[in-house]
Structure 1
Amino acid sequence: MSKKLIVLFLGLIPLLCTCFSPDTPSDRRVLVLLDDFAIKSSHSIFFNNLKSRGFDLDFKLAHDPTISLQRYGQYLYDALILFSPSIERFGGSIDAAAILDFVDSGHDLIVAASSNASDLIREIATECGVDFDEDSSAMVIDHSGYAVSATEGDHTLIASDDFIKSDVILGKEKIKAPVLFQGIGHSLNPSNSLVLKVLSASPSAYSANPSSKLTSPPSLTGTSISLVSVVQARNNARILISGSLSMFSNRFFQSDVQKAGSPTKHDKSGNEQFLTELSKWVFHERGHLKAVNVKHHKIGEVEEPALYRINDDLEYSVELYEWSGKDWEPYVANDVQVQFYMMSPYVLKTLSTDSKGYYFTSFKVPDVYGVFQFKVEYERLGYTSLSLSKQIPVRPFRHNEYERFIPAAYPYYGAAFSMMAGFFIFTAVHLYHK
């Protein structure tokens, strides 16, 4: 081998190590599609926040004919942000089906709509389990929960503080100020159990055209109106859908806020904190779990056997970690369970933990032989789901492995010996006594 080839090979080693190292959920490329490049500056605080957390943002106009999500069958981006609510047709090779395939491949998506949301944006939202108000001119109006301002206007500028109660989605630090929202409301598809309200409207809110009088009851009213929703797909892809593009803007981030009826005036709205924490969840900087070192073996042994025998005592263990945004930290919970499964669970055990990410339990193999599976199906609100399975056969006792005398058969042993003793006594009496 020549010196040049050796040098080339040594130079490729770091690249190969990087390619085959375990992926982390962050530090990824994000495609941002805009209606207008002016949004890049008017929403710069949100974008700069993502950049400071290690994301590489690629800004393009939504109608750019050169945009593409994949090349030669490989996706070029790990996440997509749609800040183009009025786009009627994407440029390049992107359409609604391509975006849904992007999500089906395990990638994340943020969609921000507005009162002039196009049919294309509505179609994408509908496929994700979210239905925007059918009235294209409708906005969320709240005459009780509006944001107090110098010009009261039509009360479409809402100050909402009805957040989802989940530390993993919105972070452990409480959001101190209400969130400013101005846009279109949506409802959740009741048949879709994967979509969740993150920010809800108040009971006094309704969706209608603010510039015209109501002639019929509004289709969306009260807390059934969702302002911001999230979806975690079964493949752990995450989606954020907002009815307002303005809530991501610098103006809303830096504006003071006072909710109608509240004496407290906040110097800064809760938009920046709310959307920062929510974007951390969407981009898997929080609530992302992984399982490593799944092991099982007989008690007293170390090696994993090729099969078990009925009534063997075994031990099962797994290590669970959560991504903190920088590194993997031990995940601590008391509701992780393992099933020993064949057609149905024969054993269901809650795993004990040492609070350092190590989960373990022990149990006896059931008195049934066949092909079993160790199964861990873990689903918890806000966390990526875990589905672990390991197949193992279970055999019966061999002919020379049974006990010589089975305790359950002692009554039958006693009956046989008592019969023999009785026959001996009867024979002796009959022969030697008249």
Structure 2
Amino acid sequence: MKSLSFFFFFIFIISVFPFLCFSFNPESPTDRRVLVLLDDFSLKYSHSIFFNSLKSRCLNLEFKLSDDPSLSLQRYGQYLYDALILFCPSTKKFGGSLDLTAVIDFVDSGHDLILAADSTASDLIKNIATECGVDFDEDSSAMVIDHKSYAISGTEGDHSLIVSDDFIQSGAILGKTKIEAPVLFKGIAHSVNSANSLVLKVLSASPSAYSANPESKLLNPPLLTGSAISLVSVVQARNNARIMIAGSLDLFSNRLLRTAVQKAGSQDKYHKSGNEQFVTEISKWVFHERGHLKAVNLRHLRVGETDEPAMYRIKDDLKFSVEIHEWSGKNWEPYVADDVQVQFYMMSSYVLKTLSTNGKGLYLASFKVPDVYGVFQFKVDYHRLGYTSLSLSKQIPVRPFRHNEYERFITTAFPYYGASFTMMAGFFIFSILFLYNK
């Protein structure tokens, strides 16, 4: 009997263990599984500082070569990973079932991606970036060159090791702590489509930069110049998937993370570049450790009541509330902002109110139901730079007054009442005059 009980207990543990180890709640971005694809396993050691910072934040990294024949992002229709890091710029073809379509489908399903390229970038890597809204320079041998904003040490005369401190002004993406030291960059340029509002330049080149082959003479004007060159860009898709695209694999390397930096023509010398702080902060954003919002407890009540009604009547006074929280990397904290709005919507917005907050994550608004009946929606569409988008809706019908709910005498109908009584009085006077007047 004891052996039978032990057998059933063992079967229970075996069946539950995978869920205990590998379950992931999308509302709490912790213990995320990340697949890292490399051209060579030596990158694990040359970029170890960056990888160790990810591991220290409870990201479970799995390293594989990009041509591994067992590569697969999903099994039995379920994705095995929550994010993908492509540190394999020279890869011309992935192994296993992984290809361009699989990577794009991975992002389209709401998962995150970090892509790093360099001068050896293959068409496969460039096509993935193009699908994400970023175009690398067509010249495969071109690199970003800057004869003014270059690093004094290690330039080897070609000025391809450049210095940049043109960061995006967003605390949600790069954190609230300012990056004091400039970033060292050695790689290729890319451009973003200004008409695409989903792509943002996080790190831009200086006005004196251009993209060209440093080993050959410049015979024609370069296609990419100045601040049009993006060094690092990010994308937040409409499904809240986050993508980071960098034109430099060395940007994440131990060498540049720990190298002292001094910009040409400047007396300021920093004992360490801003690369480590930059890649750490931006990776926190990519992996939803910052700027990740959730909304709960969306409620609406008729004033004076405690239960949500199944229907409203026109001109009812109502209260609307919703709670919004932000993930801090460890727990959910109240999100405080003054630009959250609610719409009372039917075909178009009849009511648009800015929600007030109590500073503890609760947002409130009161308004009167419009004098229009039909099926309405409470809608909260919140989009703010660096934060996940919130799109909430709740449907509710609105009815007109019943026949016994109208006022006995409607104020706006007084002229009609007066006209009726005036006509009756006139008819009575006319009748008297007509009958008795000789």
TM superposition score normalised by structure 1: 0.95
Decide whether aligned partners of structure 1 residues 82 and 10 sit closer, same or farther in structure 2, where only a CA change above 3 A counts. Answer: closer
The reply on whether 1:197 has 2:206 as its aligned counterpart is: no
Give the Å deviation of 1:23.
3.6
User: 2:140 & 2:397 partners in 1: Cα distance?
Assistant: 60
| 2:417 corresponding residue in structure 1 | 413
Q: For residue 277 of structure 2, give the secondary structure of its aligned residue in structure 1.
A: helix
User: 2:11 & 2:395 partners in 1: Cα distance?
Assistant: 39
Amino acid corresponding to residue 77 of structure 1 in structure 2: Y
Give the Å deviation of 1:367.
1.0
| 1:127 corresponding residue in structure 2 | 131
* Contact preservation (8 Å) 2:184, 2:261: yes
| 1:225 corresponding residue in structure 2 | 229
The reply on whether 1:328 has 2:322 as its aligned counterpart is: no
| 2:239 corresponding residue in structure 1 | 235
| 1:259 corresponding residue in structure 2 | 263
Give the Å deviation of 1:10.
9.0
Summarize the alignment of residues 256-295 of structure 1 with structure 2, pairs less than 5 Å apart: 256-295=260-299
| 2:216 corresponding residue in structure 1 | 212
User: 1:408 & 1:22 partners in 2: Cα distance?
Assistant: 55
Decide whether aligned partners of structure 1 residues 15 and 312 sit closer, same or farther in structure 2, where only a CA change above 3 A counts. Answer: farther
Amino acid corresponding to residue 45 of structure 1 in structure 2: I
Q: For residue 63 of structure 1, give the secondary structure of its aligned residue in structure 2.
A: coil
Decide whether aligned partners of structure 1 residues 16 and 53 sit closer, same or farther in structure 2, where only a CA change above 3 A counts. Answer: closer
Query: Over residues 382-427 of structure 1, what are the superposed CA-to-partner deviations in whole Å (9 max), with x where a residue is unaligned?
Result: 0000000111111111222221111100111122223334444555
| 2:396 corresponding residue in structure 1 | 392
Q: Runs of 5+ in structure 1 lacking a partner?
A: none
User: 2:155 & 2:318 partners in 1: Cα distance?
Assistant: 71
Amino acid corresponding to residue 319 of structure 1 in structure 2: E
| 1:380 corresponding residue in structure 2 | 384
Amino acid corresponding to residue 308 of structure 1 in structure 2: Y
* Contact preservation (8 Å) 2:27, 2:294: no
Which of the numbers 162, 165, 171 marks the counterpart of 1:161?
A: 165
* Contact preservation (8 Å) 1:341, 1:373: yes
User: 1:117 & 1:404 partners in 2: Cα distance?
Assistant: 80
* Contact preservation (8 Å) 2:341, 2:381: yes
Q: Which 10-residue stretch deviates more, 150-159 or 138-147?
A: 150-159
* Contact preservation (8 Å) 1:26, 1:283: no
| 2:349 corresponding residue in structure 1 | 345
* Contact preservation (8 Å) 1:79, 1:107: yes
Q: For residue 417 of structure 1, give the secondary structure of its aligned residue in structure 2.
A: helix
User: 2:241 & 2:24 partners in 1: Cα distance?
Assistant: 22
Summarize the alignment of residues 238-249 of structure 1 with structure 2, pairs less than 5 Å apart: 238-249=242-253
User: 2:154 & 2:123 partners in 1: Cα distance?
Assistant: 35
Q: For residue 372 of structure 1, give the secondary structure of its aligned residue in structure 2.
A: strand
Q: Runs of 5+ in structure 2 lacking a partner?
A: none
Which of the numbers 97, 107, 111 marks the counterpart of 2:111?
A: 107
RMSD across aligned positions (CA): 2.2
Give the Å deviation of 1:93.
0.7
User: 1:157 & 1:391 partners in 2: Cα distance?
Assistant: 56
Query: Over residues 81-117 of structure 1, what are the superposed CA-to-partner deviations in whole Å (9 max), with x where a residue is unaligned?
Result: 0000000111111011100000001000000000110
> How many residue pairs end up in the alignment?
433
| 2:181 corresponding residue in structure 1 | 177
User: 1:14 & 1:405 partners in 2: Cα distance?
Assistant: 72
Decide whether aligned partners of structure 1 residues 20 and 165 sit closer, same or farther in structure 2, where only a CA change above 3 A counts. Answer: closer
Which of the numbers 143, 147, 152 marks the counterpart of 2:147?
A: 143
TM superposition score normalised by structure 2: 0.94
User: 2:90 & 2:16 partners in 1: Cα distance?
Assistant: 47
User: 1:318 & 1:211 partners in 2: Cα distance?
Assistant: 59
Q: For residue 397 of structure 1, give the secondary structure of its aligned residue in structure 2.
A: coil
User: 2:131 & 2:35 partners in 1: Cα distance?
Assistant: 20
| 2:47 corresponding residue in structure 1 | 43
The reply on whether 1:403 has 2:437 as its aligned counterpart is: no
Identity percentage over the alignment? 73
Q: Which 10-residue stretch deviates more, 81-90 or 364-373?
A: 364-373
Amino acid corresponding to residue 264 of structure 2 in structure 1: A
Summarize the alignment of residues 291-370 of structure 1 with structure 2, pairs less than 5 Å apart: 291-370=295-374
Decide whether aligned partners of structure 1 residues 151 and 371 sit closer, same or farther in structure 2, where only a CA change above 3 A counts. Answer: closer
Amino acid corresponding to residue 311 of structure 1 in structure 2: K
Give the Å deviation of 1:26.
2.7
Query: Over residues 194-221 of structure 1, what are the superposed CA-to-partner deviations in whole Å (9 max), with x where a residue is unaligned?
Result: 1100000000000000000011000100
* Contact preservation (8 Å) 2:71, 2:97: yes
User: 1:61 & 1:22 partners in 2: Cα distance?
Assistant: 28
* Contact preservation (8 Å) 1:32, 1:82: yes
Give the Å deviation of 1:262.
1.2
| 1:188 corresponding residue in structure 2 | 192
The reply on whether 1:92 has 2:96 as its aligned counterpart is: yes
| 1:64 corresponding residue in structure 2 | 68
Which of the numbers 81, 84, 88 marks the counterpart of 1:77?
A: 81
Which of the numbers 110, 118, 121 marks the counterpart of 2:122?
A: 118
Amino acid corresponding to residue 335 of structure 2 in structure 1: Y
User: 1:246 & 1:15 partners in 2: Cα distance?
Assistant: 37
* Contact preservation (8 Å) 2:30, 2:59: yes
Query: Over residues 345-373 of structure 1, what are the superposed CA-to-partner deviations in whole Å (9 max), with x where a residue is unaligned?
Result: 11111111111100011111111111111
* Contact preservation (8 Å) 2:137, 2:224: yes
* Contact preservation (8 Å) 2:294, 2:324: yes
User: 1:345 & 1:17 partners in 2: Cα distance?
Assistant: 45
User: 1:416 & 1:14 partners in 2: Cα distance?
Assistant: 83
